[in-house]
Homo-oligomer: A and B are copies of this chain.
Amino acid sequence: MNLFSSVCIVGTGLMGGSLGLALKKEGFKGAITGFDTCNKSLQKARALGAIDEESGDLKLAVEKAELLVIAVPPGQFEKVIKTSACSLQQGAVVLDLLSVKGFIGEMLKKHLPQAVDFVGGHPMAGSEQKGVEAARSDLFEGNCFFLTPFKSTGAEAMLKIQALIRSLKAKPVIINPCDHDKVVSSLSHLPQFLAYVLVKVLSEEQDIPEFAGQGFRDMTRIASGDPDLWMDIFKHNQKELLSALGRLEKELGYWKELLKKKDPKLLDLLKESQKTHTEMVKGDTEHACG
């Protein structure tokens, strides 16, 4: 864990906090400085040991860091990168932990000096809880961690970040930013959107909550996720999410027609999905990114 001697984490919430805790757990010896616009969150992060030092000045915090981690909602990214850009030291590496990547390319072109290595990062791990209180040192363990290179990303920086991710027991998966946004629109943003819609539809039935079984509880668990954060994510991955929603609507409409006709083709589709799901779950434990 001598990849970087100093780290600055901007945004000490669930993700940033978990990264700090994970670095400590895996033996990172350098200083971890935290910056957050919310003072309370910053203090809690320090109290929990996710950071060593609080900073009230983003530029000063960034100056000292060999690795800058940006763990803020997509809507705050531009402000952070714009403010940090000039303060970054020579050879510093920047890693973000945002759920959307496509829009970052433009931001980098606009605000980041060419000499800075920027690596996009997205851990496929999280919690429906928010804030550093929910941070866990093992949040990333065993989970897939997307890494997206940008035009300015050097190969050496990419290797260092891969090594860092592996040291946290996560599984780095390199993917380009556009493919990333497409994959997560289906895999994460669509299910999240749907969980909110499903709760809305079900809540229109009186007395439903008290009758709920485990299936319903599992299917809507993520609907307790932070609405402001998700609105921000949905907006930043709007194009891909709309496309995923379109695919869902089309499929749903087709299946509904089959149900209307009690068409045996519906059974074939159920069987196919069940089979796919079994393979997915099987793959889930066999694959690197389980």
Chain A interface residues toward B at CB < 8 A: 124-126, 128, 143-144, 146, 173, 182-183, 186-188, 190-205, 207-228, 230-231, 234-235, 238, 241-242, 244-249, 251-253, 255-256, 259-260, 262, 266-267, 269-274, 276-281, 283-284, 287-290
Contact = CB atoms under 8 A, between A and B. Distances in A.
B238 A124 contact: no
Nearest to A288: B210
Binding site secondary structure of chain A? helix
Given A248-B201, A277-B223, A281-B224, A231 B270 contact: yes
A182 B284 CA distance: 35
Contacts of A234: 259, 266
B276 A210 contact: no
Contacts of A200: 251, 269, 272-273, 276
A242 B201 CA distance: 13
How many monomers of this chain does the complex have? 2
Given A124-B213, A211-B289, 19 more contacts: A125-B214, A143-B213, A144-B210, A144-B212, A146-B211, A182-B205, A188-B213, A190-B198, A190-B202, A195-B273, A196-B274, A200-B251, A200-B273, A203-B273, A203-B276, A210-B283, A215-B221, A223-B274, A224-B277
Contacts of A283: 209-210
Given A242-B260, A249-B256, A187 B205 contact: yes
